[in-house]
Copies of this chain bind each other. A is one copy, B any other.
Amino acid sequence: MKTGIAHLYIPGPTNVPDAVRQAMNVPMQDMRAHDFGAQWIGLFNDLKGLFRTVDGTVMLFPGSGTAAWEAAITNTLNPGDRVLMARHGQFSTLWVEMAERLGLEVDVVDVDWGQGTPATEFAARLAADRKGQIKAVFVTHNETATGVTSDVAAVRRAMTDTHHDALLFVDAVSSLASVDFRMDDWGVDLAVSGSQKGLMCPAGLGVLGVSVKAMAAAQTATMRRAYFEFKDMVNLNAGGYFPYTPPTQLLHGMRCALDRIKAEGLDNVLARHARLAEGVRRAVAAWGLELVAEHPSLYSNTVSAIRVPADVDAREVIRIAYDRYCLSLGSGLSRLAGKVFRIGHLGDLNEGMALTALSVTEMAMAEAGVNIRFGSGVAAAQHWFSTGRMAGAQVNVAAE
């Protein structure tokens, strides 16, 4: 019999704010009523603001981020198209797999898990593509498996510098509304996200930002699609309606979540993520452990993937945290299984919650055999969180 809060620190689905849960607890509605659509026009507009796009179009697909991945591909590409993708973590790997399943010819660049999208290598390949055979470039903005944030702007620069007009696909599933994302500035054509990460809603909606260029490509793209057809969406969304029964509760939840983001201010949301993430990273350093991300410039503000010592199984840390302390950590995926656990620190979070994760993780690590000094990571994070807030100078920090 577990008691108390089920502490959720996986990198998604994230904690749903109580206000969002309230907003979702509504009876079903008549989704063809004449006043149904009006309530959702603003939702699409506000999502555009989150993507930082002015002329782009945002669509919501009932399903997951994976559904939005597929919608992006099938609406804008043709069977057999050559595309450029990198593999540097489990999610970028799965995206490659999807592209192949859907019949694309994928130029894969494999880099270490812990690296970001290799913009330089991409630049070289794009430069070499004299005939413009590469129809799309894919970037996983925030690789959730490794806690690595890639430099989308650098990829765009590589494309610009090589005068390449491929479409730019970006997986922003775990970055939207958590890490700075700039669809228009970076010239992103297809920006894929989902409801259950920075948007603080339950899973169930794939969110897709589509540029004007991508909308044009969709006019002629011949890949087979039906459920994910852009034009069905766009036609009906214009009035706030949907081509098939929408998950209305989720729409209400997202409305509430966007209101919260507005009230906090997007820049403040991003700053908060950065602050809380830095607290976690200082704890990791105090523990003497390493992140999977190989360089500070790659550190993700939404998730930290932490390597445990070689003689400890990270799965044991996760199991102990869950079974004994009712706290969920992210597991190491695929080749990182057993070597890594992850702390998700995105969405509806505050300092106390970050410290909860750290203090329980310290116990779970210690009990799993990691040589950890109790309170050390917590103290490092507290110090960081308290910086500049001290009444005087009399504080001694344990971690120092």
Contact = CB atoms under 8 A, between A and B. Distances in A.
Interface of A: 1-8, 10, 12-18, 21-34, 61-67, 69-70, 79, 97-98, 101-103, 194, 196, 202-204, 223-227, 229, 243-250, 260, 263-265, 268, 272, 319-320, 322, 324-328, 330-331, 348-353, 355-356, 358-360, 362-363, 366-369, 371-376, 378-379, 382-383, 385-386, 389-392, 394-399
A245 to B, nearest CB: 4
Given A3-B264, A244-B65, A366 B395 contact: yes
A351 B367 CA distance: 14
Contact of A382 (B5, B16, B17, B363): B363
A264 B33 contact: no
7 contacts: A4-B353, A33-B328, A66-B227, A101-B224, A204-B247, A374-B382, A374-B398
A368 B395 CA distance: 10
Copies in the complex: 4
A327 B14 CA distance: 20
Contacts of A26: 18, 22
Given A352-B360, A389-B324, A32 B7 contact: no
B196 A102 contact: no
A29 B6 contact: yes
A101 B212 CA distance: 24
Given A1-B263, A21-B25, A202-B249, A352 B376 contact: no
A94 B18 CA distance: 35
Given A359-B382, A366-B390, 18 more contacts: A4-B349, A5-B5, A5-B350, A6-B30, A10-B30, A12-B245, A15-B28, A22-B22, A24-B249, A67-B227, A102-B225, A202-B249, A204-B250, A223-B224, A325-B350, A374-B395, A375-B376, A375-B379
A320 B386 CA distance: 11
Given A22-B22, A247-B204, A394 B375 contact: no
A15 B5 contact: yes
A350 B4 contact: yes
B322 A34 contact: yes
Identify which of A25, A247, A263, A352 gathers the most chain B CB atoms within 10 Å of its CB.
Answer: A352
A375 B382 CA distance: 8
Nearest to A388: B367
Contacts of A250: 204
A14 B4 CA distance: 11
A5 B353 contact: yes
A264 to B, nearest CB: 4
Given A102-B226, A325-B351, A27 B3 contact: no
Nearest to A362: B382
Contacts of A1: 260, 263-265, 268
Contacts of A7: 352
Nearest to A9: B30
B355 A3 contact: no
B369 A374 contact: no
Contact of A373 (B203, B331, B397): B397
Contacts of A245: 12-13, 64-65, 194, 196, 203
Contacts of A226: 66, 69-70, 97-98, 101-102
